[in-house]
Chain A
Amino acid sequence: MPASYTIKDILRRGGLLPLLAIGAVAGGATAAFAYAGGWLTPGQLHPAQIVNALEAHDGRHEGFRRAHAKGLCVVGHFDGNGQGLALSKASLFRQATTPVIGRFSLAGGVPNAGDGRVTFHSLALKFDLPGGEQWRMALNHVPVFPVATPQSFLDFQLATTPDPATGKPDPAKVQSYMAKHPETKAFADYMAKAPLPNSFANASYNSVNAFRFTNGQGQTRPVRWIFTPEAPFGELDKTTLASLPRDFLFDEVAGRLAHGPLVWHLSILLPNPGDPTDDATKAWPDDRQRVEVGTLTIDRAVTEDDGPCRDVNFDPTILPAGVAPSDDPLLAARSSVYAVGYTRRTGEPAAPSALANDTAFPAPTPGQSAPKESAQ
């Protein structure tokens, strides 16, 4: 019997049922694809919802990061002392020097906000390891985070989004959120009483989330880490914050770097059994074992407009061999949310940073920018 290709012949030979079956296969596969992509489950939290909430909270500032919008690039290096290799086989921990670029920033989505705010002072880092490996970190001066899960983060943003009528968050919404989230209330209380560093240079910077280290013998353990400054701590007077110049923190650290490098010591924190690895709202007690593994040296600061950090996504799940994410639910969410924000802002033209015309950061002279240009 010859093959037949016309609909009429197919139907005449009883082909209706197979035709419907094929339609069902194609339709079923498409439905499964849509389900995997989250289109059939609107109740499921999508990373774009969190970026949308950040934009609603602080305004949509084209070309800038949706969080930690105000920042300054830094360049330096890390010197490992070899001690870290007992904990992780990451090449950063060898007795060697690793080039680093990074970014000091303040939390919030407003790129030209004033520095006098009770908020995160942050340091993001990108270590360029041998063989194309990278380790990216996004660190805060506070060891804990206000929320434990991505859903809480979204709810917190929504509850504290300013009401367009008053320009302030609706106190009822804030109260209702805080009543359900004692961890956020505890964080707010902590921030209110904890001293705020008066410089980017004398703040400690914490991993916030837990990670997993694996050493050369295949032993895996949970860790957090902290960069402790050599510069002696100084505290801001929280009652006078509003009267301080807009960019005083960034100008101050630029002034320090003009006189010499800044150094931090990296210590790995090892938990006791029972210390939480999946809850960034809970600090590990101060008496936990610490292993110092090397020093971070920041040599110079460059504005985002001329520096190497503006177009870097400081996704803390970009890790070298020997380091992996923990079971902390914030880590995966940071990665997927940062990716959405990164795609949005790189699709917009870069705008001048708040520090672009700041006299503390002289524009690079032709001599200084020569290495970049001569590399053509």
Chain B
Amino acid sequence: MTSTTFSGPARLLHWIMAALIVAMLFIGVAMVATVGTSHNWLVPLHKSVGATLLVLVLVRLAVRATHRPPPLPADMPGPQKAIAHLSHLLLYALMIALPLVGWSMLSAGGYPITVWGTLHLPPLLSPDRALYATLRHLHTYLAYTLFLTVIAHLSAALMHGLLFKDGVFQSMAAWRTRR
């Protein structure tokens, strides 16, 4: 019999990454808008959390491949199911793309890529002036897209929990795995 909740590892990863992704979006948008001294610690923190999220999303892909997620309710309308699947695909694509674009962008700019103060990641590509500018803008646009997708995801989750009451919200919010 299939489970009605996501697996324990999937739920743990979801909530850790949710907190980190929301933090990253706010850190990112704040650090590029300030001339204040917070810039001195926000930028290293952004790079460090970003690298951590890249590792976490790879673990999450492995968990997803080995733990089948619960099916959406049978009576959920087809178009809504399609939107749900597409939005999750978009979330995964952005979770993978944003740290990779950030890493590539720093590489193209010739910057050192320092993680948690001690680890230095190798450049993903050679310094390239025009590519830096392109990736820098792409990083911003992808981040805005991720923010809007997260808001849509949160709103949809709350609609499942408060309005549809169909168990979809509980499948990720449940404390214990249920059959």
Does A325 reach chain B (CB closer than 8 Å)?
Answer: yes
**Across the interface, do A21 and B26 meet the contact criterion of CB distance under 8 Å?**
no
**Across the interface, do B151 and A29 meet the contact criterion of CB distance under 8 Å?**
yes
Given A50-B35, A331-B40: A131 and B120 interface contact (C-beta under 8 Å): yes
What residues of chain B lie closer than 8 Å to A312, measured between beta carbons? 110
Of the candidates A26, A44, A47, which one forms a contact with B32 in the assembled complex, judged by CB atoms under 8 Å apart? A47
Interface size on B, residues (CB 8 A): 50
**Across the interface, do A346 and B80 meet the contact criterion of CB distance under 8 Å?**
no
Of the candidates A25, A33, A132, A349, which one forms a contact with B29 in the assembled complex, judged by CB atoms under 8 Å apart? A33
Per the 8 Å Cβ criterion, residues 38-57 of A in contact with B are 38, 44-47, 50
**Across the interface, do A15 and B163 meet the contact criterion of CB distance under 8 Å?**
yes
**Across the interface, do B132 and A38 meet the contact criterion of CB distance under 8 Å?**
no
What residues of chain B lie closer than 8 Å to A349, measured between beta carbons? 130
Given A26-B154, A347-B137: A47 and B33 interface contact (C-beta under 8 Å): yes
Interface size on A, residues (CB 8 A): 55
Residue on A nearest B73 in the bound complex, by CB: A3
The A/B interface has a contact count, at CB < 8 Å, of: 142
Residue on B nearest A346 in the bound complex, by CB: B133
Given A33-B29, A33-B147: A132 and B121 interface contact (C-beta under 8 Å): yes
Stretch of B11-19, B92-100, B111-119, B170-178 contacting A (4+ beta carbons < 8 Å): B111-119
Query: What sequence of 0s and 1s flags, for each residue 17-28 of chain B, a beta carbon within 8 Å of any chain A beta carbon?
Result: 000000001100
Does A134 reach chain B (CB closer than 8 Å)?
Answer: yes
Given A33-B25, A133-B120, A321-B117: A336 and B133 interface contact (C-beta under 8 Å): no
Of B77, B109, B134, the most chain A CB neighbours within 10 A belong to B109
Q: How far is the CB of A114 from chain B (nearest CB, A)?
A: 27
Does A191 reach chain B (CB closer than 8 Å)?
Answer: no
A22 to B165 alpha-carbon distance, docked (Å): 14
**Across the interface, do A318 and B35 meet the contact criterion of CB distance under 8 Å?**
no
A26 to B132 alpha-carbon distance, docked (Å): 33
Q: How far is the CB of B179 from chain A (nearest CB, A)?
A: 20
Given A19-B163, A332-B37: A30 and B151 interface contact (C-beta under 8 Å): yes
Given A38-B33, A312-B110: A26 and B151 interface contact (C-beta under 8 Å): yes
A52 to B128 alpha-carbon distance, docked (Å): 25
| Interface residue ranges, A against B (CB under 8 Å) | 2-5, 10, 15, 18-19, 21-23, 25-26, 29-30, 32-33, 36-38, 44-47, 50, 131-134, 150, 310-313, 317-318, 321, 324-325, 327, 329, 331-333, 335-337, 339-340, 342-343, 346-347, 349-350
| Interface residue ranges, B against A (CB under 8 Å) | 25-26, 29-40, 43, 73, 75-77, 80, 109-114, 117-118, 120-122, 127, 129-130, 132-134, 136-137, 147, 151, 154-155, 158-159, 162-166
Could you show 21 A-B contacts with beta carbons less than 8 Å apart?
Answer: A3-B73, A5-B80, A5-B164, A21-B162, A30-B147, A33-B147, A36-B26, A36-B29, A37-B29, A38-B30, A38-B34, A47-B35, A150-B35, A313-B109, A317-B39, A327-B37, A333-B35, A333-B36, A335-B39, A336-B35, A349-B130
